Chain A
Amino acid sequence: MMSDIPATSPRPQAFGGTTYAPEEPGSDVWVLNVGPQHPATHTTLRHVLELDGERVLSCTVHIGYLHSGFEKLGEHLNYNQYVVVTDRMNYVSPMANNIAWHHACEKLFGIEITPRCKAIRTIIAELARIQDHLVCVGCSGLDLGGYTPFMYFFNARELIYDIFEECCGHRFTTSYTRVGGLMQDVRPRWAEMVKHFCTEVLPPAIVDFEKLLTRNRIFIERTKDIGYLSRDDAVNWGVTGPLARASGVRRDLRKDEPYLCYADNWDGQGTRGVEFKVPISDGGDCLGRYLVRLEEIRQSAHIIMQLVDNIPAGPVNVLPDDKQTLPDKAEVYFSIEGLIHHFEQIMTNRGHTPPVGEAYGANETANGELGFYLVSDGGNTPYRARCRPPSFINYQCFEKLVVGHQISDVIAVLSAMNVIAAELDR
């Protein structure tokens, strides 16, 4: 059926709002504009589809509707202030962005965070992964017409918001991390909430969800062999994360460049890194992406359960003696030294002074490799704060993936990609 489709679709020549259809007499090619405001694009994206009947001949993606100059802002905010902006990048899992940002900062400053902080950050990073995948997997049903499974997952996801609210006071824009530590320590109740979520709430939600979708014939027929991406293409396009792993790429930064509690000897006492498996599918289609994400949710819960009872005691922030981290709030409010130290840190002519140089730190987040490339001139704000956004780089191949499919499959491919436009445009 698909053999008569040219490998490369006729590329539109004129851009800028004139016409996209080839000017051939008698041509049935017509143009459909999806977005920028469209329920199926989830966020603000625009696709210009050239159609022959229902079949997509070519797709042109227009992005930038949510561009808000985050990288420019990063050059004017200090290393602690910018975490607020990272919340707004991938807002489906803001905690993961916070952790990735300060992971890169700590690489630049040369700070080794405390074991307690590592354990808490790992748990939170995995909760963020679950949070992100719950939306993405839920939406892959929702966009194909299955509303109920989405609600099962959103019900569970609500509890992750409660967990985040408990540890940092915010549900959505968390800004929880700081250079060298966290905004504040967690309370014992928090660990109970996490455990309750991973044992009582999430497993039944996954069971219910799978009953509705995983072996659902309509769902499989709508996703199998849709949006095929080969392994070589995935590597060449720079695709990372579940999208790449669904195409058979064996790559997970948690295994390949381990950080936090994924690395061996993370607490300095020889403890092994957390155990987990990296699911890989060789399908390369939307169904494969769905299955990989679903398994990653289970693996994340497994990681959390290994850590939640074994969070090491001790301080959550590295000692502020080197004047690189903010002092504890209790110290700031009740001692003059702490207050002076705090002011020295936040005043614009003092503050953090990283070495002159550049550093790249990357974390495996739900969508792939989220990296920050920092250039420091020795001042208290970065000279350049480049974000390597997984959505932006993964989304490039979308134009190729949808060619030859029906209009409705465009939506299936898009929801399986989990593009977050705020991260896409930054």
Chain B
Amino acid sequence: MTKTVQRVITALQEAFPDVDFAVAPLLAGRRPEEEQVCVRVPPTRLAGVMRFLYEDRRCRFEQLCDLTCVDYLNFPEATDRFGVTYALLSLTLGHRLWVKCFVNDPDPEVPSATGIWQGANWLEREVWDMFGVRFTGHPDLRRILTWEGFPAHPLRKDYPLRGRGERENYEVIHRDSA
């Protein structure tokens, strides 16, 4: 990892000595300067860590570049199911950091980042829509790509590629019944 990212990790470990960040590159075996560094944060500490990453002058992650989720059902050696992944970007220091927060069924729930980055708004709605991970404190957590009332979360691994017949059995609205 680069020096600035090393400084971020040191700052994190100093500020949260009780959290095991499990610092690791996203992909092993790459050149150190190309490494994309990922830290793990438990959902209970996520809000504090995110606020720290946004405010601390060694981190300065002004932008939430991307927020997504991966369903690790049946993934080799995975212990938790949903990995909510934050890709953070610092424009002033020019570094990136990936933060992963693992949550599980039956009620996958992480705190919302909309209070820090407004750009998290639609991204969190998308993760809710596609994976069914709730974001507590989100101002307007509605489905965004599918419609309200869609019965599933389609990017979950146990959802089949061709759907469960939602499309074929969708209620047809006629002029008389509307």
Contacts and interface: CB of A to CB of B under 8 A. Distances in A.
Contacts of A236: 62-63, 117-119
Interface string B46-69: 000000000000000011111010
Interface string B79-123: 000000101000100101010000000000000000001110111
Given A237-B119, A249-B91, A378-B76, A64 B145 contact: yes
Given A108-B27, A393-B122, A72 B75 contact: no
A392 B122 contact: yes
Given A15-B148, A386-B66, A110 B30 contact: yes
A419 to B, nearest CB: 13
A230 B1 CA distance: 33
Contacts of A378: 76
Nearest to A251: B91
Contacts of B76: 356, 377-378
A114 B118 CA distance: 40
A262 B76 CA distance: 37
A186 to B, nearest CB: 29
A378 B36 CA distance: 19
B41 interface: no
Interface string A398-426: 00000000000000000000000000011
B154 interface: yes
A33 to B, nearest CB: 16
Contacts of B66: 360, 371, 373, 386, 388, 393
A67 B145 contact: yes
A110 B117 contact: no
A199 to B, nearest CB: 36
B91 A373 contact: no
Q: How large is the interface on B (under 10, 10 to 19, 20 to 34, 35 or more residues)?
A: 35 or more
Centre residue among A16, A371, A384 by max chain B CB count within 10 A: A384
Nearest to A383: B75
B172 interface: no
B27 A64 contact: no
A72 B155 contact: yes
B11 interface: no
A426 B85 CA distance: 19
Nearest to B34: A107
Contacts of A373: 66, 68, 85, 87
Given A377-B75, A388-B65, A359 B27 contact: yes
Interface string A361-390: 000000001010101011000011010100
Contacts of A356: 76
Interface string A172-213: 000000000000000000000000000000000000000000
Contacts of A72: 154-155, 159, 161
B136 interface: no
Contacts of A238: 63-65, 117, 119, 123
Contacts of B29: 110, 355
A256 B154 contact: no
Contacts of A256: 94
A73 B161 CA distance: 7
A359 B36 contact: yes
Top 10 closest pairs, chain A to chain B, by CB: A238-B119, A357-B27, A64-B145, A358-B26, A67-B145, A388-B66, A237-B119, A386-B68, A384-B70, A396-B122
8 contacts: A64-B143, A67-B146, A71-B130, A71-B155, A388-B66, A393-B66, A393-B119, A396-B121
